[in-house]
Amino acid sequence: MSILRARTGGDVIGDRQLDRSCYFQAQALFVGADNEMLSAREEIFGPCASVIKVDDFDEALAVANDTPFCLSTGICITSLKYTTEFRRKSAGGW
């Protein structure tokens, strides 16, 4: 396990890219990401996730739904009310 500085900002916590020609990626978290980074906007072939910190629930929902793919989304929050609302309003798969 290693921590690398991503070329576009943020940190990559995990393992190396497996095959540059095919863009396969070993397990990794892209921490400190924002919604403009490719790791948050493009499909990655590997068990990866971008961690994007937001200021409030509305921003979390907007960021989660601002992608052409929206294969999956998630939220870390202490409110069951907002968890249910996020699940209902998020366009991503579960």
68-81 tens-digit pLDDT: 777 778 888 888 89
Average pLDDT over residues 56-62: 93
Please give the pLDDT value at position 94. 53
Please give the pLDDT value at position 58. 95
Average pLDDT over residues 43-57: 85
Nearest to 6, CA basis, from 42, 35, 30? 30
Q: 2-89 sits in which CATH class?
A: alpha beta
The model carries a pTM of: 0.72
Strand duo 24-25 + 28-31: pairing: unpaired
Question: Which of the two residues, 9 and 28, has the higher pLDDT score?
Answer: 28
Residue spans of alpha helices (H) in 1-94: 38-41, 57-65, 80-89
